[in-house]
Amino acid sequence: MATSTVENYLKEILVITLEEDVAKVPMGQVAKVLGVTPGTATSMAKSMERDGWIRYFPRVGVSLTKKGRKLALSMLRRHRLLETFLVETLGLDWSEIHVEAEELEHAISEKVLEKLDEFLGRPRFDPHGDPIPSKGGVIQQLASKPLSEFKKGAGVRIESIVDQDKEFLHFARKSALVPGQIFKITDKEDCADAITLKTPKGKILNLGYRSAEKILALPCEA
């Protein structure tokens, strides 16, 4: 049986794999996301490989085994359903729910999770716009890309927020950078790493590329 630490590692490896479309995730990236040292992450990876959860490639990174991916998808499903419940039912702000869901996801049973999914109307996306894996382990792959990759004049619809940092989510909410919101990119200055957005009502928003990279969108009419 996997410990909560193993479950956290598997989930974060899966998230990075999906978001960046990579086969192997560098250990330094895993360590950064989990807030541990690279040495600690590497030691954990070797232990997880012995237990059959992942494959470890020295100086390259890690990939999930079939067994590891199955559990990782289950944990990601738990996490995103709980985030949805915390926002839609309990009324928590979306900047608060990540940490709360991290605590709850290890304790909830499959029976309760299934009832929760049914109660919520079997949602396909969480409050941040991220796809929720199905009970069978199927997850929808989005064709969205970072705002920073769109050209000047493009119309975009916000799909999801990649960064789960509380302060950034506060900023995104305050700036209406939420799933479903439509913008037009009215200006883009590569030399200044700056992008200017305009809502259908004419509100102007200026973003740096660093922030724009954390916001995924799809093209649309604006």
Compute the average pLDDT of residues 92-116: 93
Give the pLDDT confidence score for residue 166 in this predicted structure.
Answer: 86
Residues of the chain with CATH 2.30.30.90: 145-219
Residues of the chain with CATH 1.10.10.10: 4-64, 77-141
For the chain, the distance separating the N- and C-terminal CA atoms, rounded to the nearest angstrom, is 50
Q: 77-141: which CATH topology?
A: Arc Repressor Mutant, subunit A (1.10.10)
Q: How far apart are CA 63 and CA 32, in angstroms?
A: 17
Of residues 144 and 41, more confidence is placed in 41
pLDDT tens digits, one per residue of 68-97: 999 999 999 999 999 999 999 999 998 889
Residue 48 near residue 9 (C-beta atoms within 8 A): yes
- Architecture field, domain 4-64: Orthogonal Bundle (1.10)
pLDDT tens digits, one per residue of 151-172: 999 999 999 998 878 899 989 9
Distances (CA, A) of 5 to 8, 106, 155: 5, 10, 41
Q: For domain 145-219, give the CATH number.
A: 2.30.30.90
Q: What is the DSSP string of 200-221?
A: TT--EEEEEHHHHTTEEEEE--
Give the pLDDT confidence score for residue 192 in this predicted structure.
Answer: 87
Q: Is the pLDDT of residue 142 over 80?
A: no
